[in-house]
Copies of this chain bind each other. A is one copy, B any other.
Amino acid sequence: MTAREDWQELLREKGYRLTPQRELVLSAVDRLGHATPDEVLSAVREQSSAVNISTVYRTLDLLEELGLVRHTHLTDRAPTYHSTATPQHVHLVCRDCRAVIDADPAEFDTLVARLRKQHGFEPDIGHLTVFGRCADCRPES
């Protein structure tokens, strides 16, 4: 998917305009990896202090609609956004230490096939977050 390269063109095709805010938000998400709207705002403000939080929200929505970013829920509160330029990955979140491990979607292939067959359900693995306990926090077995 090359949407990333010509995203500016994609914007215009849909009748949207290219603004500094939109560039800043997208690059902040790229840079941060995983970030809440609030964290994106902070990052953006390091480069341009006058950007408003509501613009960040509106822009994240827009970028998501265009398929340039995605969001998942790594904590109970606050969605976290990440770029679709980085390879798709599943988030494994440790309930204790809050660590986030990125897993290869290929590890979920068997599951995907099964859910498809069993329920006719087409899972969106890119959006998936699995909660649990990481190696460090597991009760020593």
Contacts and interface: CB of A to CB of B under 8 A. Distances in A.
A94 B119 CA distance: 12
Interface in A79-128: 79, 92, 94-95, 101, 103, 107-108, 110-111, 114-115, 118-124, 127-128
Contacts of A108: 111
Interface range, A side:
20 to 34
Chain copies in complex: 2
Contacts of A79: 76
A115 B103 contact: yes
Interface stretch (A10-18, A38-46, A49-57, A130-138): A130-138
B107 A121 contact: no
B92 A121 contact: yes
